[in-house]
């Protein structure tokens, strides 16, 4: 048996649909239609798997404003000088050409769940049978006193990759000799739990080369963080004396900023800083809230198929979902997307639906060839996505293993981006 890729060149899809088994759900517009909002690790993967595996039986529309998507994962490696910005950019052409996905570069501005339509900024109203919302994160208004998106040029978050990341790198390179890089770390839950601390490692790596007397200050509202022992060991080994982590015990959770004057105030004490990377508290991307499927900051979902508690025909993937034990990561969104795609396909075409299995691994780079990882497997229970098994890199591992771990992370990056965009 040979499984080959089918090329969709516009005309083939209809012919295939007419030959295929009749759709279980026959919508007014012919083939059943899935609309996916958001072309990141959750949305691009879901769109690709539904289109690829349904052999043209399902009309898949992907709505994503960016023509080039820059991955947030690995963007810290750009700050560390290990990747170029171009390495992180991906386009959607193959999803249209190889899988017949209708990629629309526009913003979804409204969802009418009663009428089952999505409205675009451009004005079009598109009907759907199943809607998948994978919008990533937005920031909670007023989460850091003194900061708003209006001040993100003075104090970048760089937590959505692209221009913000480039701005932060430029600011780091322009720091005065012996200057201070400050980070305001976010409270749980947030995208990419080890991300802020990998970022500190990468900034330290860059500063050690170009500005070795510079200091890094982290104000953190959490009393512990992901891979803490591994990061702290690495910081001691590679960047001794450079990094000062201020946890909540010392006021790290009581922070305000003055972007105009580059002042960071921690527990009442003002510090003049040269770069201030503010990563505010997060919430689901706004379209999830507009669709009315959120409860508080996130969208509660059923673990078995990622459908929302609010609406069985609306699924939410990735960072925006309140799903249980999985971290908010690109890997997790990609994993959830496959479970969702299998269930959506089954509902629309009667294809076989298999048990939900989820997994996640997060790699972080501490220094050149010094990679670490953490991961877990998960299953669907009545209440949530529940952790089954887990592992984490150990402190004191030898350099050959750490190098192999870093190389593995590069392999993963090539793998997941091919799994989303090819």
Where do contacts with another protein occur on this chain (CB under 8 A)?
1-4, 49, 53, 331, 334-335, 338, 342, 352, 354, 357, 359, 361, 373, 375-377, 379, 388-391, 393, 400-401, 403-404, 406-412, 414-416, 418-419, 422
- CB 419 → another protein: shortest distance, Å? 5
For another protein, which is the closer residue by CB, 228 or 369? 369
The answer to whether residues 278 and 257 touch, using CB atoms and an 8 Å cutoff, is yes
For another protein, which is the closer residue by CB, 256 or 359? 359
- CB 180 → another protein: shortest distance, Å? 35
Alpha-carbon distance 365 to 195, whole Å?
10
- CB 187 → another protein: shortest distance, Å? 28
- CB 418 → another protein: shortest distance, Å? 5
Please, which residues have CB within 8 angstroms of residue 158's CB and are 6 or more apart in sequence?
A: 75, 79, 164, 165, 167, 168, 199, 277
For another protein, which is the closer residue by CB, 69 or 147? 69
- CB 88 → another protein: shortest distance, Å? 15
For another protein, which is the closer residue by CB, 152 or 351? 351
Q: What are phi and psi of 255, to 5 degrees?
A: -130, 145
For another protein, which is the closer residue by CB, 118 or 416? 416
- CB 413 → another protein: shortest distance, Å? 8
For another protein, which is the closer residue by CB, 259 or 330? 330
Alpha helices, H only, 66-143: 75-79, 93-99
- CB 80 → another protein: shortest distance, Å? 17
How buried is residue 418: exposed, middle or buried, by Cβ count under 10 Å (0-12/13-18/19+)?
Answer: exposed
For another protein, which is the closer residue by CB, 121 or 229? 229
Chain mean position to CA 38:
11
DSSP conformation class of 249: G
77-89 per-residue burial string, b: 16 or more CB within 10 A, e: under 16? bbbbebbeeebbe
Alpha-carbon distance 106 to 189, whole Å?
28
Alpha-carbon distance 272 to 264, whole Å?
6
For another protein, which is the closer residue by CB, 294 or 329? 329
User: From start to end of 23-169, where are the E strands?
Assistant: 33-37, 59-63, 68-70, 89-91, 102-104, 108-112, 117-120, 125-127, 130-133, 137-139
Alpha-carbon distance 262 to 260, whole Å?
6
- CB 302 → another protein: shortest distance, Å? 19
């Amino acid at each position: 048996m040979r499984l080959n890729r089918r090329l969709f060149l516009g005309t083939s899809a209809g012919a295939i649909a007419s030959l295929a088994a009749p759709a279980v759900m026959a919508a007014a517009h012919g083939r059943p239609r899935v609309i996916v909002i958001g072309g990141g690790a959750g949305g691009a993967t879901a769109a690709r798997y539904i289109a690829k595996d349904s052999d043209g039986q399902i009309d898949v529309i992907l709505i994503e404003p960016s023509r080039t998507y820059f991955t947030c994962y690995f963007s810290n490696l750009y700050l560390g000088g290990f990747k170029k910005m171009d390495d992180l950019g991906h386009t959607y052409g193959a999803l249209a050409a190889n899988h017949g996905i209708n990629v629309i570069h526009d913003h979804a501005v409204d969802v009418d769940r009663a009428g089952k339509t999505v409205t675009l900024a451009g004005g079009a109203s598109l009907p759907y049978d199943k809607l998948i919302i994978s919008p990533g994160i937005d920031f909670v208004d007023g989460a850091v006193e003194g900061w708003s998106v209006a001040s993100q040029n003075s104090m970048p978050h760089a937590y959505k990759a692209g221009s913000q990341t480039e701005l932060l790198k430029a600011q780091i390179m322009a720091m005065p000799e012996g200057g201070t890089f400050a980070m305001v770390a976010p409270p749980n839950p947030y995208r990419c739990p080890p991300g802020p601390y990998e970022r500190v490692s990468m900034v330290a790596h860059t500063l050690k080369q170009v500005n070795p007397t510079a200091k890094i200050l982290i104000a953190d509202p959490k009393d512990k963080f992901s891979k803490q022992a591994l990061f702290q060991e690495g910081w001691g080994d590679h960047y001794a004396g450079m990094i000062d982590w201020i946890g909540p015990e010392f006021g790290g959770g009581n922070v305000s900023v003055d972007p105009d004057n580059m002042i960071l105030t921690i527990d009442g004490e003002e510090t003049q800083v040269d770069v201030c990377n503010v990563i505010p508290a997060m919430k689901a991307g706004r379209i999830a809230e507009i669709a009315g499927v959120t409860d508080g900051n996130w969208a509660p979902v059923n673990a078995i198929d990622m459908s929302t508690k609010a609406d069985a025909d609306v699924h939410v993937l990735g960072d925006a979902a309140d799903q249980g034990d999985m971290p908010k990561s690109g890997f997790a969104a990609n994993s959830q997307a496959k479970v969702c795609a299998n269930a959506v396909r089954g509902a629309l075409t009667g294809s076989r639906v298999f048990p939900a299995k989820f997994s996640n691994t997060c790699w972080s780079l501490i220094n050149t060839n010094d990679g670490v990882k953490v991961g877990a497997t998960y299953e669907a229970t009545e209440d949530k996505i529940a952790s089954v098994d887990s592992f984490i890199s150990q402190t004191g591992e030898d350099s050959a293993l750490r190098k192999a771990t870093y190389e593995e992370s590069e392999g993963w990056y090539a793998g997941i981006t091919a799994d989303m965009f090819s």
